[in-house]
Amino acid sequence: MSDRRLFIFVEGNDDERFFRNVIRPLFLGRYQSVELIMYACMKSTQVCKFIKTVSSLGHDFILVADIDEAPGVKAKKHIIQHRFCAVDDDDIMVIIKEIESWYLAGVDDHAAARLGVHPPRYTDQITKEDFNRRIPRRYTSRVAYMVDILNLFSIDTAKKKNRSFLFFMKRYHLSRRR
């Protein structure tokens, strides 16, 4: 294990929950610690200072952002670079379309039966609104549904159903199965 730390900057609560449960454990053997930082409600200057400090100390970071309405990954990276200084293309991971698409990507047949859902074959175009429409009526809480998905999450299935999830796994050499 390295003395280096990894900081993963995520937008909000849903992203933090996903990365804490699915992604963080995959990085733990490589780093002394893996910290998740929610940046959406932080000022750009504060995020910029944080990133510069992390870099100057020789630690690694990944800034994760949903593609949202950007016309493509390159355009979204440009938006992020304009908003935050000291961020290279290689340090930015763009989720297509939104983090909810990664949640649904990990729902295999077994999980679908347990959750009472019919997930799409591919989730690249899933938005927050699409996700919300797919929540079974028996769930009174969106968060409870997301937690149940994470408890049944299949990385192998997610890699088949979502191209940006597969790209992330390959980019960071995260091949461990779950």
- Mean pLDDT for 34-38 is 97
Domain assignment of residue 170, yes or no: no
Domain shared by 90 and 9, yes or no? yes
pLDDT at 25: 95
Domain assignment of residue 171, yes or no: no
Domain assignment of residue 157, yes or no: no
Instruction: Give, for 49, the enclosing helix (H) or strand (E).
Output: helix 44-56
Distance between CA atoms of residues 59 and 108, nearest Å: 35
Domain assignment of residue 76, yes or no: yes
Domain shared by 80 and 114, yes or no? no
Burial of residue 113, with CB atoms counted within 10 A of its CB: 0-12 exposed, 13-18 middle, 19 or more buried: exposed
Q: Which stretches of 136-177 are DSSP H helices?
A: 142-152, 155-161, 163-171
Secondary structure percentages of the chain, helix, strand, coil, to 5: 50, 15, 35
- Mean pLDDT for 47-62 is 94
pLDDT at 175: 72
Which of 95, 113, 130 represents a domain boundary (last residue)? 95
Three-class SS state of 160: helix
Q: What tens digit of pLDDT does each residue of 68-112 get?
A: 889 999 999 999 999 988 688 999 999 999 999 999 999 999 999
Domain shared by 89 and 33, yes or no? yes
Distance between CA atoms of residues 163 and 47, nearest Å: 28
pLDDT at 178: 46
**How many folded domains does the chain comprise?**
2
Domain shared by 86 and 109, yes or no? no
> What is the domain extent for residue 116?
101-152
Domain assignment of residue 17, yes or no: yes
The answer to whether the beta carbons of residues 114 and 152 sit under 8 Å apart is yes
Domain shared by 63 and 113, yes or no? no
Domain shared by 14 and 88, yes or no? yes
pTM: 0.94
**Count of residues in the chain:** 178
Domain assignment of residue 161, yes or no: no
Confidence of residue 14 (pLDDT cuts 50, 70, 90): very high
Domain shared by 56 and 108, yes or no? no
